[in-house]
Structure 1
Amino acid sequence: MRRSSTLLLSLAVVGGLTGALPATASAQGRQDIPQSHPLWANAQAKVADTAPAAKLSFRVYLNQRDNAGAEALAQAVSDPDSKTYRQFLSPDQVRDRFAASDATVNAVKAWLTGNGFSIGEVPSNRAYVEATGTAAQTEQAFAVDLGKYRVKGQTLRAADKNLSVPANLAGDVLGVVGVDQATNLFKPDHTDGIDSGKATKSVQPSDVAPGPGFRNAPPCSAYYGEKIDTTDPAYNGKQLPYAPCGYTPGQLRSAYGVDKVGADGKGTTIAIVDAFASPTIYADASEYARRNDPAHPLKQSQFSQHVFPVNPELEPPDQCDAAGWYGEETLDVEAAHGLAPGANILYVGGSDCQDNSLDIALNYVVAGHKADIVSNSYGDTGEDIPADEVKVFNQISLQAVLEGIGVYFSSGDNGDEVARLGTPSPDFSASAPWITAVGGTSIAIGKDGKRIFETGWETSKSLLTNGVYGPANYTSGSGGGTSRLFEQPFYQKGVVPDALATKNQTGKKKGRVVPDISAVGDPNTGFLVGQTQTFPEGAHYDQYRIGGTSLASPVFAGIMAVADSFDHFHHGFINPVIYKLTSRTAAISDVKHVDGQAVARVDYANSVDATDGLLRSARNLDYQGLTIHTAPGYDDVTGLGTPNGLLFLLLV
């Protein structure tokens, strides 16, 4: 979550990285790893040196042997006009054709052990070599000094300059991730829309109580328009409908037309990647299905987990909101199962949100093809990401495309990011070219389960005080915009308007625009979720309304799981298909701005009961005060639009 106007990388071809960036000599016999120094790690932000004896773990990621060939093949297997469309590779085929050689792995391991590091995991796709050692060993090995720097309210470790490696290894090293703690800035993309900012900090996940409780305050509606606020003053001349209490799985399946198609996701595995692991996840998700979708229980045989253990020798992840990640996991599991009740769910929990454990978790899924679809609901604020992380992520997501795994990322919950960064920007990882970025909408679902309307999610709030509505202030919304990191990918050419593709660019360049497609995200028209939380009377299961593009991502992942079972094949990377085919048909519903729509909302001031009073507000849907806007055709709030039931399943 760092601000920068500096371009970190110059990317070409399809919008991905073209192999290793040229290294520069930093000392005799050594070469820099370009742009491996975070911009926020400067002298003004430094608060301390890192203790020489401090333990840390990092991964040396290795270049593919033929990155250009891998990108060309990834385009071919995902492009419906290609002769090799959907001729996906197995993990073994990807490894044998593109992965670093055994000789390269052994050379890197020998260098690391020679510097005193102990060697950890080398995954089956030879993506990286993991090493653990002290800060002093790390400083010597990479010719840097490690310090502590203040950034965005956190104190994070980083080097004082670019890392460097021996010149004979420079061509093999893609990047080094974990020496700095830049990925501590990744946050889950969910929101309850109450703007409380509450968080529970933790030292070890095993010590974390369930997060602070939240309940919906009455009145709220079972469906859109069920209850009208006739007690408060009219807002802009209208008596508003009360916000829904939270849509159930059956309502969303009906609204998106996947409830009566004869397919439910059976035969497909959806992986959900988050940090940590909620100790009550299966009990919560099972209870949720029992209460809200009893015809579709979450069977024990459908749910599995792979959770990476916290290394007790490492610096504790005290910057991470473990309980907040529990809520993210719960939302993701319940939403994915709700839309695709026949699919298997694999939860993969990173050991923490630092040292790039989320990339390790994603690579675990991809290296072993553990799932057919991956939903990810987290990201950075903007694109000021160390080049190492960008290169590593692109290589992992590229392998997913080669294997036919669809990877979905939430587009973010802060709109155009101007309020936080000062300049418009999409969020990474959603802006990466080899994934599908899922934006958010505000949706009105009627008594019959059908969509009354659906518009872009950009919400403002007018607080009611002493009978008078205050000004409409922006609260949250679907992330979107034009990337400064990634050039326009092949699949967006001719579909995304030049007026959007040329934003944030220089000269005649065009950038990758986010998002690609959308689903429900607005917490004011959000999803009912059930989770064990900590209330004044103790910790127990309860239900509440939630939203965010981290709702949109698993909802869309669930729809794609239904598409897999309906079409009897796994779709893989769908961007080329949806831009070339479905975008030109009614298979995708074009989301447009809807004027004058708002809902009345009542919240507990203390989030759990009326003891401290109630907060009343009007929530305006699709606020127009940002640099991104919902518009006819492709737009930078909702992308191409939302899936349109059976037509989408037939044509995707």
Structure 2
Amino acid sequence: MRRTPAFLLAVAMAGAGVTSLATSASAAGMSAIPDSQPVWAKPNAKVAEVSGSDRLTFRVYLKAKDQAGLEAAATAVSDPSSPSYRRFLSTDEVRTRFAPSAGTVEAVRTWLSSSGFGIGEIPSNNQYVEATGSAAQVQHAFGVNLGLYKVKDRTLRSADRPLSVPAALAGAVSGVVNVDQALSLVKPSHVGANGDANADTVAQTKTAGPGVAPPPAGFVNAQPCSDYFGQKVDTTDPAYGGKQLPYAVCGYTPQQLRAASDLDNIGKVGLDGRGVTVAIVDAFASPTLYADAAEYAKRHDPAHPLTQGQYSQIVFPPTPGTEDPSQCDASGWYGEQSLDVEAVHAMAPGAKILYVGGADCTDLGLDKALNTIVAGNKAQIVSNSYGDTGEDIPADEVNAFQSIAIQAAAEGIGVYFSSGDNGDESHRLPKPSADFSASSQWVTAVGGTSLGIGKDGSKVLETGWSTGKSTLTNGAWGPAAPGTWLYGAGGGTSVLFPEPAYQKGVVPEALAKQNQTGDKRGRVVPDISMDADPTTGMLIGLTQTYPDGVHYGEYRIGGTSLASPLMAGLMAVADQFGGRHGFINPWMYKALSHTPAISDVKPVTGAGEVRVDYVNGFNDADGYVRTVRSFNNPDQTIQTTRGYDNVTGLGTPNGLLFLGLI
């Protein structure tokens, strides 16, 4: 590619280390970024060309100055056997020792500018250079042709070959994100009000940007339902598998969830997360998010109001050139946001909550939100309730995420990700798969359980979340027990990431070798679990659109995006009690995996609940549908077993013992 004299002059001025790049770049031409094209962008999947006038915003991610040193530092401060354990680095230390240099940033910025792009954000940790331009400029600058490809019932943009950058910059660039739309496949990891995985019933109205999408269509829990597990037993319908099952809970309240984790009593002596900030990352932002969460706390946890001083938010404006938020189901993210905020506050009512809303539902928006927290060390804990379907992610986008996650570990920020709501993905993909980003070895992947909380707040049942469904039709349940697999906690063995040191000797060899070739061993998901089954889910409140207008309403919800903020809230209390913990995986696997601090989650047979729903979602005008939601459905490759398993990980935190030993 031809560079202008201005480009060469600017690079020469950037510093002695970069001056030599200009000379070699002019001679060596372009260098391809390995694996920067999604595997689904095959010629036979192409359906159209991209218009050259389309506007795109993308980021060029930069390699750390000393990547090996950064990883070593992150490992040392997280490893309980290291003398540097919990001696976390400050943001200034990370920036000075490991961040890409100012000269590297200037070289990349100048190349992009000389190629006609407008330069956007360059964050304080120099992770990336953001740029905006036309599709024609992108094609010319990166040596590709852009097309539209059919993938997973979507039509997405991608290049027809790996992206290229000037050879002189190849050693500095780790990847380019959002030239393709691979991560527009990211969805919130919750089970919507209507009971479908990753779906709320939403108003499909075209919107102008995040924050203005209409509230989701209203949903109301039908009666009968139980105030606590097992309270009401269905004696009017036929037995299921020879048993009369209880009605599903109406939705657990904050006090019940705290009691099940032994947080209620210690909260009375001030251990409630105060002094700790939990950040929540989602796409977009409901305009009533704080008001809804405050109203929910007022109704169900009046002793622990969510005050204005506890809550803050950063919401990014729409990203130019990204798909319309209505295509990302902006309304569907509103339930996710309310769930996340209300679940964190339920577990840690004294903690501060920072909500960070991405400008879109792609990696461009979500990674920017996460990096904003990490670059500024704005929270001790981050809960993320979204993920991709499987691990079909271009390597450059994986590298971009990893660089943020490793810096978080070095700074002592615990990053928690929902493990997913579609089990091993075998019901949606050609073969079983863990979900990215939960599969990263630098995050804590939170799996899910079906949790029975009794009248006194104690756990009366807990098993791995894997739901079967049978519907009452003409007086009989069909299909017969255990029903048709519906949804369940995500898990499995990664093909992207090798087995981390902290899992060796704890995760069974048979699980580490799943999905692998030869003698390779992979990172297994999840690490720890909390309640996730929507049948045993949490009651949440948010503004919704009902036939009689738009107003606040409540319903039960679940998914591993309930489990992640529950765990984040629990860790806020742990941080208040024992100091900042950061990345907890090495400690959990080495020190807690064989102790009572983590309760092993075991399989159960013949258990489940009867769920009653309104056909129309909000009243009985169109009648009811009655279903059994059975526990431990076996129709997938991941199963709940004794010891570590790929549905619940090590198990669930055992209340005060966990807090005392973590």
- 2: distance between equivalents of 1:175 and 1:106? 17
2:53 is the counterpart of 1:53: yes
Q: Please tell me whether residue 226 in structure 1 is matched to residue 226 in structure 2.
A: no
Distance in 2, Cα, partners of 1:79 & 1:387: 27
2:411, 2:637 → 1: CA distance? 37
Question: In the alignment, what sits opposite 2:575?
Answer: 564
Amino acid at match of 2:545: T
2:427 aligned counterpart, secondary structure: helix
Show the 5 A alignment for 1:539-554.
Answer: 539-554=550-565
Residues 286-323 of structure 1: per-residue CA shift (max 9 Å, x gap): 00001111110000000000001114565534421000
Q: Deviations over 1:81-106 (max 9, x none)?
A: 10110110011100100010010000
User: Comparing 307-316 with 123-132, which one deviates more in the overlay?
Assistant: 307-316
Q: Deviations over 1:369-390 (max 9, x none)?
A: 0100000000001000111111
Aligned residue for 2:428, secondary structure, equals helix
What pairs with 1:81-480 in structure 2 (closer than 5 Å)?
Answer: 81-192=81-192, 194-195=194-195, 197=199, 198-201=201-204, 202-203=206-207, 204-261=209-266, 262=269, 263-311=271-319, 316-354=324-362, 356-471=364-479, 472-480=483-491
Measured in 1, the distance between the counterparts of 2:211 and 2:513 equals 48
Q: Is 44-53 or 428-437 further displaced after alignment? A: 44-53
Q: Is the 8 A contact 2:77 2:88 kept in 1?
A: yes
Residue of 615, 621, 626 corresponding to 1:611: 621
Letter in structure 2 aligned against 1:634? Y
Q: In the TM superposition, what is the alpha-carbon distance from 1:526 to its structure 2 partner?
A: 0.5
Distance across 2 between alignment mates of 1:627 and 1:267: 42
1:249–1:293: 8 Å Cα contact kept in structure 2?
Answer: yes
Residues 313 and 391 (structure 1), Cα distance of their counterparts in 2 relative to 1, 3 Å cut: closer
Q: Any idea what SS the aligned residue of 2:566 has? A: helix
Q: Report the residue type matching 1:488 in the other structure.
A: E
Deviates more, 1:37-46 or 1:407-416: 37-46
* Equivalent position amino acid for 1:486 in 2: F
Q: How far apart, in 1, do the equivalents of 2:249 and 2:337 lie? A: 22
- The aligned residue for residue 20 of structure 1 is none
Q: TM-score, normalised by structure 2?
A: 0.93
Query: How far apart are 1:444 and its partner, in Å?
Result: 0.5
Measure, in 1, the Cα distance between the counterparts of 2:321 and 2:451: 47
Shift of 1:623: 1.2
AA of the residue aligned to 1:631: T
Where 2:264 maps in the other structure, the secondary structure is coil
CA contact (8 A) 2:213 2:326 kept: no
Query: Within 1, Cα distance between the matches of 2:341 and 2:211?
Result: 21
Deviation for aligned residue 1:192: 3.7
Q: Which amino acid aligns with 1:215?
A: V
Give per-residue Cα distances to partners, 1:566-619, cap 9 Å, x unaligned: 12x111000001001111110001000011111111011111111111111111
2:15 is matched with none
Q: Residue 519 of structure 1 corresponds to which residue in structure 2?
A: 530
Give the structure-1-normalised TM-score: 0.94
CA distance in 2, matches of 1:646, 1:313: 49
Amino acid at match of 2:315: V
Counterpart mapping for 1:492-503 below 5 A = 492-503=503-514
Q: How many residues align?
A: 626
1:434-473: CA deviation from partner (whole Å, max 9, x where unpaired): 0000000000100000000110000001111011000111
How far apart are the structure 1 equivalents of 2:635 and 2:428? 15
Cα offset, 1:539, TM superposition: 1.0
1:28 shift after superposition = 5.4
Paired-residue identity, %: 63
The letter of the residue matching 1:129 is V
Quick check: 1:577 aligned with 2:587? yes
The structural deviation recorded for 1:48 is: 1.7
For the Cα contact (< 8 Å) 2:211–2:284, is it kept in 1?
A: no
CA deviation after TM superposition for structure 1 residue 353, in Å: 0.8
**Structure 2 CA distance for aligned equivalents of residues 436 and 515 of structure 1:** 8
Alignment partners' CA distance in 2, 1:341 and 1:116: 50
Q: Which residue of 1 aligns with 2:647?
A: 637
User: 2:8 maps to which residue?
Assistant: none
Q: Give 5+ residue unaligned stretches, structure 2.
A: 1-24
Aligned to 1:586: 596
Gaps of 5+ in 1: 1-24
- In the TM superposition, what is the alpha-carbon distance from 1:193 to its structure 2 partner? 6.6
C-alpha deviation, 1:195, in angstroms: 4.2
